[in-house]
């Protein structure tokens, strides 16, 4: 067969998504290897992308030190809620299977630079990190574990707010979790709250903002109601940086903004100070 009669071979092409990550903020193309090496922080604009709960545990704790607690506690369906898209119970079950986590928060014990702590780390992938009865129960039990072991409690928030599928039962978790952290304060045990993107709604209006130390990642969205709702309510244009971590800090609601790569060392320093070890 003459060369000009031979069928052309399809060129070897690697799909873009297999090689590059597109920064959600500046839209820059970043090699996936670099994105992973920077812990999902854009090297161009410093945008801190969302992390899963297990990724974050690996980031801030000593390797192999994390031991999960209360994995059996999961979503409840007190209202037998259904809407046009289906039953809440079915959605919750599907989310558990898809994410591999049983609730919107992962709790357990760990060490940070050999300092023992109790952790509760939220995951936005689980129904938007919403605060349901199972979420609140896990946080309560984590606080009680910290009280029993005489350890600091660290909660990492990432949430769109209360879980509407559970109605008033969900809203009651705001008071329940705040009561749990208040008991730590009475016992003289530190509670450190870390706010990540996003921390909004009922979570920002409860345990996320009552830490002995409230810290946030750069540019994290922090607030209660959304920008559009507020602007329509007050009939005013809000500043461009409204509800960012930087804006929130400038108005006295959080104590520090800590880059992701510095978080573990920062927490260790605070924990040593709280224990009188430094």
pLDDT of residue 276: 72
Helix (H) / strand (E) element for 36: namely: helix 32-37
Token pair 């979503």: residue: 75
- Answer yes or no: are the C-beta atoms of 199 and 168 closer than 8 Å: no
Q: What is the predicted pLDDT for the residue at 6?
A: 59
Q: In what order do the strands lie in the sheet with 67-68?
A: 67-68, 105-112, 115-122, 152-159, 191-199, 213-216, 256-257
The pLDDT value recorded for residue 14 is: 52
Helix, strand, or coil here: 203? helix
Is residue 118 within 8 A of residue 145, CB to CB? The reply is yes
- Spell out the per-residue pLDDT of the chain, length 278, in tens: 555 565 656 555 555 667 899 999 999 999 999 999 999 999 999 999 999 999 999 999 999 999 999 999 999 999 999 999 999 999 999 999 999 999 999 999 999 999 999 999 999 999 999 999 999 999 999 999 999 999 999 999 999 999 999 999 999 999 999 999 999 999 999 999 999 999 999 999 999 999 999 999 999 999 999 999 999 999 999 999 999 999 999 999 999 999 999 999 999 999 999 987 54
Q: How do beta strands 115-122 and 86-87 pair?
A: unpaired
- The CA distance from 173 to 211, in Å, is 16
Please give the Cα distance from 210 to 208 (Å, whole number). 6
13: tokens are 């092409």
CATH match for 50-275 among 1.25.40.10, 3.90.226.10, 1.20.20.10, 1.10.10.10: 3.90.226.10
Q: What's the pLDDT score for residue 156?
A: 98
* Three-state DSSP class for residue 210: coil
- pTM beyond 0.85: yes
User: Is residue 148 exposed (0-12), middle (13-18) or buried (19+ Cβ within 10 Å)?
Assistant: exposed
Predicted pLDDT of residue 13: 56
Predicted pLDDT at 18: 77
Report domain extents, the chain: 11-49, 50-275
DSSP 127: G
Q: Is 182 exposed, middle or buried (0-12, 13-18, 19+ CB in 10 A)?
A: middle
């Amino acid at each position: 067969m003459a060369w000009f009669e031979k069928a052309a071979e399809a060129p070897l092409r690697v799909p873009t998504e297999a090689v590059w990550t597109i920064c959600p903020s500046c839209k820059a193309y970043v090699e996936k290897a670099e994105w992973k090496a920077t812990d999902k922080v854009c090297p161009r604009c410093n945008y801190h992308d969302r992390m899963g709960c297990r990724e974050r545990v690996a980031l801030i704790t000593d390797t192999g030190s994390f031991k999960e607690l209360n994995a059996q506690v999961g979503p409840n369906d007190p209202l037998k809620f259904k809407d046009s898209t289906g039953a809440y119970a079915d959605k919750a079950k599907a989310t558990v299977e898809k994410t591999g986590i049983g609730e919107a928060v992962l709790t357990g014990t760990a060490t940070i630079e050999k300092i023992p702590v109790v952790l509760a780390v939220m995951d936005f992938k689980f129904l938007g990190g919403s605060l349901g009865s199972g979420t609140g129960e896990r946080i309560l039990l984590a606080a009680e574990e910290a009280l029993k072991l005489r350890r600091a409690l660290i909660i990492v928030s990432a949430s769109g707010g209360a879980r509407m599928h559970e109605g008033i039962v969900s809203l009651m978790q705001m008071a329940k979790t705040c009561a749990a952290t208040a008991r730590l304060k009475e016992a003289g045990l530190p509670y450190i709250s870390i706010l990540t993107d996003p921390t909004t709604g009922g979570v920002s209006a409860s345990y996320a903002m009552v830490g002995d130390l409230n810290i946030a990642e750069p540019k994290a969205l922090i607030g209660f109601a959304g920008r559009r709702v507020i602007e329509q309510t007050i009939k005013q244009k809000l500043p461009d940086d409204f509800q960012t971590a930087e804006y929130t800090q400038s108005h006295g609601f959080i104590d520090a903004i800590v880059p992701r790569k510095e978080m573990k060392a920062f927490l260790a320093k605070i924990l040593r100070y709280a224990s009188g070890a430094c």
